[in-house]
Amino acid sequence: MQQYPKIPKLSAINQDVVELLYSNVFNGLLITLLSVSAITFGFDSGEAQQTKQNIWLVILVFTLIRAMDAAYWHSKLKNTRYSPEAPFYRFFVGSIFTAILWAVFGISFFDSMTTLEFASTMIIMSAMAGGAATVLAPNMVLVLTYATIMLIPMSLRAIYDYRDEYNMLGFLGILFWISMCGAASRANLFIRRAIEIKHKNDELVELMVKEQNEVTRINKQLLDTNHQLDLANNSLEKEVLRRTKEIHRLSNRDPLTGLMNRTAFMQHFEWMIEQACQGNKRLAILFIDLDGFKQINDSFGHQAGDAVLASVAEQLKQYCESDCAGRWGGDEFVLVLPYADEETALAIGQAARGSITSLQHIADNDVTIGATIGIAIYPKHSKDAATLVQLADLTMYYNKRTKPGVVGVFSESIYDQLNEELRLRDGLRHAIDRHEFHVVYQPIIDAKTQKIWAVEALARWQFNEEWISPGVFIPLAEKSGMIQDIGSWVLNRACIDTAQWPDDSLAVSVNVSVLQLLNENFIRQVDQAIGSSGLAPHRLHLEVTESIFADDMAILTDRITALKARHINIAIDDFGTGFSSLSLLQALDFDLLKIDRTFVQQITDGNDTIVRATLLMAKEFGCRTVAEGIETPQQAAILKAMGVDCLQGYLFAKPLEKNALLKWYTDQH
């Protein structure tokens, strides 16, 4: 509870008292001057007139001094904080001295006054004292002293006078003094209360101001805190946003290349298709697959492979907006080209492919890399994102098989061919069970004796009344993993048929896919085929292509060594079309080199360099040679003259069914 000051003492001197006294002083001084002037100049006192005027002059001068003091207070002290004692005492002295002058004035001229003058003087002095009862009431000592000096001497003088009317006026003066003291006392109490209330008010105002200031301060603090909270919130929001973005980026980006991963790309691609649909616009999707990436990984290690992928991604970014490229997986990338038609997509695809193939030096290695690209266009080829990617992928896949390194746009014919492939793959799955496979045999003739030396077993597949070429179904079987079963079936069939051949000098040459060789069951399959058919192992030749040199050489060396240990002959088929390793050729001790048909066909045009080189090499390695695809006697004559050991081709016989072969053989001998 706030403590307020008690009512000031009767005689209290404080700034409020001084203020009340000085605020009315000019009126008081003016009334004093007018009153004293009226008495001085309104009544002629004869000889005493001059003295009277001198006293008037003293009162005038003194009144002027008090007026100056009051003016000083008004101009300098009012509304400031000052020590109240000095101005109060100046005022006190001024008032009391004025009262004394009045009293002296009244007493001095009492005897020379007429009754009227005396009565007038008494009335004026009473009026002055009466006025003082309120004007000087702020200080009780002052008001009582003033009233007493003003009224008591004159009243007592009048009471002691010999005239009755003077006595009466004297008593009236005393009575007036008494009532005036009472009035002054009440006025003083009232003023003190007023001061007290003013103080309380001031205190309250001060308190209010303080509280207002406190509220303002707290408000400011709140504002500051709010501001700081806002700032913290903002930076927190920013941080959350940044982290969300980072998480989004990490979960949407492929860490190696910084491109979108497959999921993020598909989401974005679907959105782009919606945009294209709304704007009635085209867009193209490019499916990019690197050529030769596996070799880089195998030859230079995964770090080099990673560096290649990262720099391919960098190259690709140059051809589209940052959110239009993605890594589909492995060495596959996807690009979206908004607004692009076929020509634009082809041009950009070519340029992107060009910049990928120009990458030559990566992670301290000189690398050769290519890319095959398939393109699909929205809305021409499909309106569905997943289908568009699938079509671009199919186109790339088709191009890769038919013409690697090409940039091509999807077409119905690609779709038909791939559909056909799917149909065949499906058919291939049941081909053995449905007895759709056959084996035909093509004789291989000894160049010197012109007699049959061996036969090559070639698989045939009759699917829905249609003969499917091994050039078509063998790669499909390799891709779908069915080559193991098909190869094993052909091997068994060939061994059985050959074992039943009337002449036990005839050998059979069976084509073996490198995937079969890599299979850990392969040797067991061969043993089983030989064992169950009863064919002497040396009558079995296995043909492998040069592609084995690109695969896991440790396994392949093991397999070939195991086969050689069983006296099975090993032939390198289509020699000269792939990449052979000379050191491995020597180490693995092959028995036969089969010169590919393409070189045989060139021989009549005088292009015999490869055949000569092959013969030379075979001689050095101690291998026999077989020339394939001989169609004319001229080709046969040249090859024979060059020293080829064996000849094979339509000139002698086409691949024949077992019975037809037997007939052919019988006819020959």
Q: For binding to ligand C2E (CB under 6 A), which residues are involved?
A: 442, 458-459, 469-471, 474, 487, 490, 511-513, 543, 573-574, 597, 628-631, 648-650, 655
Residue 155 vs 545, nearer CB to Mg ion: 545
Which of 573, 590, 639, 646 contacts Mg ion by CB under 5 A? 573
Nearer to Mg ion, 273 or 571 (CB): 571
458 contact choice in Mg ion, ligand C2E, none (CB below 5 to 8 Å, kind-dependent) = ligand C2E
Interface with Mg ion in residues 68-127 (CB under 5 A): none
Which CA distances in Å does 402 have to 161, 396, 409?
Answer: 156, 10, 14
Whose Cβ is closer to Mg ion: residue 291's or residue 573's?
573
Residue whose CB is less far from ligand C2E, 285 or 474: 474
Q: How far is the CB of 533 from Mg ion (least distance, A)?
A: 20
In the complex, minimum distance from the CB of residue 392 to ligand C2E, in angstroms, rounded to a whole number: 31
Residue among 445 and 458 whose Cβ is closer to ligand C2E = 458
Q: Show the tokens assigned to 598.
A: 């393409």
Nearer to Mg ion, 394 or 656 (CB): 656
Shorter beta-carbon distance to Mg ion: residue 333 or 575? 575
Detail the DSSP E strand segments found in 208-324.
283-291
Beta carbons of 361 and 296 less than 8 angstroms apart? no
Name beta bridge partners: 454: 444, 507
Nearer to ligand C2E, 335 or 508 (CB): 508
454 with 645: CB under 8 angstroms?
A: no
End-to-end CA distance of the chain: 140
Task: Give, in order, the Cα–Cα distances in Å from 416 to each of 346, 397, 479.
Answer: 22, 14, 19
On the CB side of 80, CA atoms within 13 Å amount to 10
* Least Cβ distance, residue 463 to ligand C2E (angstroms): 15
Question: How many CB atoms are located within 10 Å of the residue 427 CB?
Answer: 18
Q: Closest separation between CB of residue 420 and ligand C2E, Å?
A: 18
Q: Which is nearer to ligand C2E, 70 or 508 (CB)?
A: 508
CA dist 24 and 414 (Å) reads 117
Partner whose footprint covers residue 629, from Mg ion, ligand C2E, none (CB < 5 to 8 Å by kind):
ligand C2E
Stretch that binds Mg ion, among 107-115, 446-454, 628-636, 641-649 (CB under 5 A): 628-636
Q: Which residue has the tokens 């007026």?
A: 67
> How far apart, in Å, are the Cα atoms of 526 and each of 261, 487, 495?
45, 10, 9
CB–CB of 29/66 below 8 Å?
yes
- 379 preceded by cis ω (within 30°)? yes
Residue 591 in the binding site for Mg ion (CB under 5 A): no
Of 130-138, 254-262, 421-429, 574-582, which part binds Mg ion (CB under 5 A)? 574-582
Token pair of 328 as six digits: 């589909």
Told to check if 511 binds Mg ion by CB under 5 A, we report: yes
Q: How far is the CB of 612 from ligand C2E (least distance, A)?
A: 21
Question: Per residue, what are the HEC states of 570-595?
Answer: EEEEEECCCCCCHHHHHHHCCCEEEE
Work out what residue 411 binds among Mg ion, ligand C2E, none; the CB cut-off runs from 5 to 8 Å by kind: none
Query: How big is the CA angle at 217 (ends 214 and 222), to the nearest 5 degrees?
Result: 120
543 counts as binding Mg ion under rule CB under 5 A: yes
Q: Minimal distance in Å, beta carbon 475 to ligand C2E?
A: 9
Evaluate whether 70 touches 39 at the Cβ level (below 8 Å).
no
- Select from Mg ion, ligand C2E, none the partner in contact with residue 490, using the beta carbon and a kind-dependent cut-off of 5 to 8 Å: ligand C2E
Nearer to Mg ion, 421 or 543 (CB): 543
- Should residue 546 be labelled a site residue for Mg ion when binding is judged by CB under 5 A? no
Q: How far is the CB of 284 from Mg ion (least distance, A)?
A: 41
Contacted entry of ligand C2E, Mg ion, none for residue 84, CB cut-off 5 to 8 Å set by kind: none
Distance of CA 203 to the CA centre of its chain: 59
- Give least dist CB 458 to ligand C2E, A: 4
Question: Of these partners, ligand C2E, Mg ion, none, which one is at the site of residue 474 (CB under 5 to 8 Å by kind)?
Answer: ligand C2E
Q: What is the dihedral of CA 662, 664, 668, 669, to 10 degrees?
A: 20
Question: To the nearest whole angstrom, how small is the minimum distance from the Cβ of residue 629 to ligand C2E?
Answer: 4
Provide the minimum distance between the beta carbon of 574 and Mg ion in the complex, in angstroms, as a whole number. 4
Q: Which CB atom, from 513 or from 614, has the smaller least distance to ligand C2E?
A: 513
Residues forming a β-bridge with 366: 361
For residue 668, the partner it binds in Mg ion, ligand C2E, none, with Cβ less than 5 to 8 A by kind, is none
Q: Please tell me whether residue 497 binds Mg ion under the rule CB under 5 A.
A: no
Task: Residue 436: name its binding partner from ligand C2E, Mg ion, none (Cβ under 5 to 8 Å by kind).
Answer: none
Neighbouring residues of 85: CB distance < 8 A, sequence distance ≥ 6: 13
Tell which one of 16, 289, 393, 574 touches Mg ion (CB under 5 A): 574
CB 338 → ligand C2E: shortest distance, Å?
45
Mapping DSSP onto H, E and C, the string for 63-94 reads: HHHHHHHHHHHHHHHCCCCCCCHHHHHHHHHH
Residues with Cβ within 8 Å of 217's Cβ and at least 6 positions away in sequence, in order, are none
Shortest CB 513 distance to ligand C2E, Å: 4
Largest CA distance in the chain: 201
Determine the Cα–Cα distance for residues 295 and 273; give it in Å rounded to an integer.
36
Binding site for Mg ion (CB under 5 A): 511, 543, 573-574, 628
